[in-house]
Amino acid sequence: NTVAERKYDKIEEIASETITELQDRQLTEAICGDLEKHAYSVNDKIADSTVRNMNILIAVGD
């Protein structure tokens, strides 16, 4: 495998593990392998509109 293929495979593995964790914690209703759809599903569960509408990178440190 090339470096690019290994990187792609690792990204897919991480995405799959993330989706599994979101499903295990019942944080997503999406039933696909598309991480973006799961992100929207998680966002839909946030009741506080202020929090729901914050920039996704708000918690990232300087």
3-state secondary structure string across 19-57: HHHHHHCCCCCCCCCCHHHHHHHHHHCCCCHHHHCCCCC
| pLDDT value of position 1 | 87
| pLDDT value of position 61 | 66
Of 2-6, 34-38, 57-61, the range with the lowest mean pLDDT is 57-61
Residue 62 scores a pLDDT above 70: no
Residue 32 scores a pLDDT above 90: yes
Nearest to 52 by CA among 40, 62, 36: 40
| pLDDT value of position 40 | 92
